[in-house]
Structure 1
Amino acid sequence: MKGKERPIIILMADDDPDDRELTREAFRESRLANEFHTVEDGEELLDYLHRRGRWAHLNGTPLPGLILLDLNMPRKDGREALREIKSDPHLRRIPIVVLTTSKAEEDILRSYDLGVNSYVTKPVTFSSLVELVRVLGRYWFEVVELPPEEG
Structure 2
Amino acid sequence: MIVLKAISVKNVKLKVLLIEDDAIEVMKLKRAIVKLELNHDLIEAKNGEEALKILKQDHIIPDVIFLDLNMPKINGLEFLKILKEDEVLKYIPTIILTTSNNRRDVLACYSTGVAGYIIKPLKYEDYVNKIKVTLDYWSMNELIKA
TM-score if structure 2 supplies the norm length? 0.88
Asked if 1:34 is matched to 2:51, the reply is no
Q: What number of residue pairs does the alignment pair up? A: 139
What is the alpha-carbon distance in structure 1 between the residues aligned to residue 96 and residue 68 of structure 2?
Answer: 6
Q: What do you get for the CA RMSD once the two structures are aligned?
A: 2.0
Instruction: Flag the 1:147–1:37 CA change in 2: closer, same or farther, 3 A.
Output: closer
What is the alpha-carbon distance in structure 2 between the residues aligned to residue 120 and residue 134 of structure 1?
Answer: 12
Deviation at 1:70, TM superposition (A): 0.3
Asked if 1:13 is matched to 2:10, the reply is no
- Correspondent of 2:68 among 70, 85, 92: 70
**Structure 1 regions of 5+ residues with no counterpart?**
52-58
What is the alpha-carbon distance in structure 1 between the residues aligned to residue 54 and residue 63 of structure 2?
Answer: 13
- Please identify runs of 4+ aligned residues in structure 1 that moved more than 6 A: none
- Correspondent of 1:49 among 49, 55, 63: 55
Deviation at 1:113, TM superposition (A): 0.7
Asked if 1:146 is matched to 2:143, the reply is yes
Of the two, which has the highest radius of gyration? 2
Alignment-derived partner of residue 54 in structure 1: none
Deviation at 1:8, TM superposition (A): 2.1
TM-score if structure 1 supplies the norm length? 0.85
Q: Which has the higher contact order (CA 8 A, sep 6+)?
A: 1
Asked if 1:83 is matched to 2:81, the reply is yes
> What CA deviation, in whole Å up to 9, does each residue of 1:98-130 have, x standing for no partner?
000000000000000111010110111211111
Instruction: Flag the 1:147–1:27 CA change in 2: closer, same or farther, 3 A.
Output: closer
What is the alpha-carbon distance in structure 1 between the residues aligned to residue 145 and residue 131 of structure 2?
Answer: 22
Instruction: Flag the 1:137–1:6 CA change in 2: closer, same or farther, 3 A.
Output: closer
SS class of match (1:106): helix
